[in-house]
Amino acid sequence: MINKELKKSNLNTICVKCSSNNTIISLVTPEGSIVTTLSSGHLKYKGSRKGTQTASQQVIYYFGEKVLELGYDRFVVKIKGIGKGRSSVIKELKKSGLSLIKVIDATPIPYNGCRAAKGKK
């Protein structure tokens, strides 16, 4: 249902994936093609420093500047994951000068999921 609404709206989508090890952010057109992508590794963060909150803040801020240079201005933001940079995504995107129309949480939630591990003896 969410994807049908986004296709009708003709707005570009910013997809943010915040994992515990990295933050990946990309710009997607209404047709579904990726325009640009940026992650913590692109900014020379290596190893465990990629998962920090400062790394994700810098990734999001530089991404906002890069997107403004390309000439895009209005967006729908889709956030996925439970990483450390998740809390600062919207704040940093607004700080970089982008206008956000809608924010969608697309974190997958398991409905009973996989079987739990066997207990220790």
3-state secondary structure the chain: CHHHHHHHHCCEEEEEEECCCCEEEEEECCCCCEEEEEEHHHHCCCHHHHHCHHHHHHHHHHHHHHHHHHCCCEEEEEEEECCHHHHHHHHHHHHCCCEEEEEEECCCCCCCCCCCCCCCC
Kindly report, residue by residue over 5-56, the tens digit of the pLDDT: 555 567 889 999 998 888 999 999 988 899 999 999 898 889 888 888 888 8
Kindly report, residue by residue over 59-116, the tens digit of the pLDDT: 988 998 899 898 888 889 999 988 877 888 888 888 888 888 889 999 988 888 888 8
Domains of the chain: 2-105 (3.30.420.80)
**pLDDT of the residue at 112:** 85
Q: Is pLDDT larger for residue 2 or for residue 10?
A: 10
